[in-house]
Amino acid sequence: MSSEWPLWEVFIRGQHGLNHRHVGSLHAPDAEMAILNARDVYTRRNEGVSIWVVRSADIVASAPSDKGPLFDPANAKVYRHPTFFDVPDEVGHM
């Protein structure tokens, strides 16, 4: 037999209630073991409170060549960012 365990991507939510963040990958025979392995490999220093794993093969990614069309338009919408607007000093914090 000797087929390699599939590769899994590991996402961990840190202590601070932030979003799960991609931390790396590992091999495991199935999802349940991938969770256990992720706990042992990626939280050795008490880094997380919640783990997601997903088969690397199941990740759907944007094609690198689409980077221009996908992300450049958002660049033009500067008004989405608070720094676009001048707030007069007299108004104080907003």
Partner 1 sequence: MSAVGLSPAVAEFALRMGDNCLILGHRNSEWCGHAPALEEDIALANTALDLIGQTQLWLGLACEAEGKGRRPDEIAFLRDVSGYRNLLLVEQPNGDFGRTLMRQYLFDAWHLPLLKALMGSADKRIAEIAEKASKEVAYHLERSADLVVRLGDGTAESHTRMQAAVDFLWPYTGEMFLADALDEELVAAGLAPEPGSLKAAWQEHVTRTFAEATLKAPEKSFAQKGGRRGVHSEHLGYILAEMQFLQRAYPGASW
Partner 2 sequence: MYAQMVKTEAKRVRSLDEMEPQERAFQERIDAGQKIEPKEWMPEDYRKTLIRQISQHAHSEIVGQLPEGNWITRAPTLERKAILLAKVQDEAGHGLYLYCAAETLGISRDQMYEQLHSGKAKYSSIFNYPTLSWADIGAIGWLVDGAAIMNQVPLQRCSYGPYARAMVRICKEESFHQRQGFDIMTVLSKGTPEQKAMAQDALDRWWWPSLMMFGPSDDASVHSAQSMAWKIKQNSNDELRQKFVDQTVPQAKYLGLTVPDPALKWNEAKGGHDFGEPDWTEFFAVISGEGPCNHERLEARRKAWNDGAWFRDGLTAHASKQAARRQAARIAAE
List residues near partner 2 by CB under 8 A: 1-5, 7, 23-27, 29-30, 33, 41, 44-45, 61, 63-64
Which of 36, 49, 70, 87 touches partner 1 by CB under 8 A?
36
Residue 13 touches which of partner 1, partner 2, none (Cβ within 5-8 Å per kind)? none
Segment contacting partner 1 (CB under 8 A): 15-23, 26-34, 66-74, 86-94? 26-34
Q: Are 8 and 28 in contact (CB under 8 A)?
A: yes
- The CA–CA distances, whole Å, from 19 to 12, 13, 16, 48, 51 equal 8, 6, 9, 11, 11
> Of how many residues is the chain composed?
94
Q: Are 42 and 53 in contact (CB under 8 A)?
A: no
Residue 2 touches which of partner 2, partner 1, none (Cβ within 5-8 Å per kind)? partner 2
Q: State yes or no: residue 27 binds partner 1 (CB under 8 A).
A: yes
Q: Are 8 and 59 in contact (CB under 8 A)?
A: no
- Residue ranges binding partner 1 (CB under 8 A): 1, 5, 26-29, 32-33, 36-37, 39-41, 44
